[in-house]
Each structure stands twice: as structure tokens, then as C-alpha cells.
Amino acid sequence: MNAKRPSESLIVMTELVLPNDTNLFDNLMGGRLMYWMDIAAALSGSKHCGAPVVTASVDNISFTNPIKLGNVVHIQAKVTRAFNTSMEIYLKVWGEDILQQYKYPSNEAYYTFVALDPHGKPRAVPKIEPETPEETELYEGALRRRQLRLILGGKMKPGDASELKALFMNVRDDKQGI
């Protein structure tokens, strides 16, 4: 299976915040945004591996700025790293006030998707070869984020998370001036 570039999995989704998408404060509901993000991430994962995918996990999402009724939502999704059957997808979300002509960041998140074969079993996915400095940073961090989410999901023993442990050891060594 040939490796692919992150840019080959890029998905850009645009939505308009309508009254049915908002809460009592005329802001986009978090659940509606996560639904759109899930679709954008699934399309990105499927584009990377050419197979149907399912959401395995979603990392923590915090909402920096609310997106107002009548504003536009931009969601960008790209695969950061592929493992055996799973892929990490990085999403960035912005709001845009088209009338006042400005854009503002809303949130970012990491989703993990697993590719399935026709029997609904996990199947292998192509590797990722990052190109830009940002893609390389995301690629390198993906291993630690994967270890953390597998520990939290009860799928990995903390003792086996060597890259994650190394990060904490480096922080301790920095503090001690080693």
C-alpha cells in the first residue's frame, strides 16, 4: 500500500448557522457542530484509505468562541497520521461573519477513525508521509496522543506508552536542569 500525503485527505466543509442549529442565546449548539465535524473527519479518513470508516474516539473539544446565528462555519479536516487500521484526523473550525467581513477561530479537535472491510472488521490503511513543518509536528505528536487515548480507553497499559512517558521524563529533566 503506497503512503499518501496529508493534503490528499483534505476536506473543507462550509455550513450556514440557521435558527434550528442554535441555542437560546442564538449561538450554534455544540452538538450540531460536533455532528458536522464528525462528517468532515469521516470524509477525510475515507478519502485517505478509500474505505468506509467509523468513529473510534474523539479527544476533548473546547469551544473558544461561539458561532452566531447567520454566521458561516468553516471546518477543515486532514489525516495527521495513520497507524495499522486507524487514522488520526485533525480538525480546525472557524466562524465567519460575512456581512461584517471577519473570520474568527472557534475550536480544534482530534478524531480517530477505523477503516472497515466488507465484513465490518478493521482493515489496514495506507501510511502518511508529512510534507510541511506543521504536518510533521502533527505527525510526531500523533503517537503520544494515540497512547494517551488508548490508555484512557482501557486499550493500553500506561507502562507500554514509551513515547508518552518520555515526554513527561523530559519535562521533569528540564525542571531539574538536567
Q: Which residues bind ligand COA (CB under 6 A)?
A: 54-57, 83-86, 112, 114, 122, 149-150, 153, 155
Smaller CB separation from ligand COA, 109 or 114: 114
Which residues are paired to 44 by β-bridges? none
Strand, helix or coil for residue 94: strand
Distances in whole angstroms, Cα of residue 124 to Cα of each of 28, 63, 74, 171: 37, 33, 30, 35
Strand, helix or coil for residue 155: coil
Smaller CB separation from ligand COA, 154 or 177: 154
Smaller CB separation from ligand COA, 17 or 115: 115
- Minimum distance from residue 142 beta carbon to ligand COA (Å): 11
Smaller CB separation from ligand COA, 86 or 106: 86
The phi-psi region of residue 55 (left if phi > 0; otherwise alpha if psi is between -120 and 50; otherwise beta) is beta
- Minimum distance from residue 172 beta carbon to ligand COA (Å): 27
Estimate to the nearest angstrom the gap between the alpha carbon of 19 and the chain centroid: 27
- Minimum distance from residue 41 beta carbon to ligand COA (Å): 11
- Minimum distance from residue 145 beta carbon to ligand COA (Å): 9
Smaller CB separation from ligand COA, 96 or 108: 108
- Minimum distance from residue 83 beta carbon to ligand COA (Å): 3
Instruction: Give alpha helix (H) positions in the chain.
Output: 30-49, 133-152, 162-175
What is the rounded distance in angstroms from the CA atom of residue 107 to the CA atom of residue 144? 21
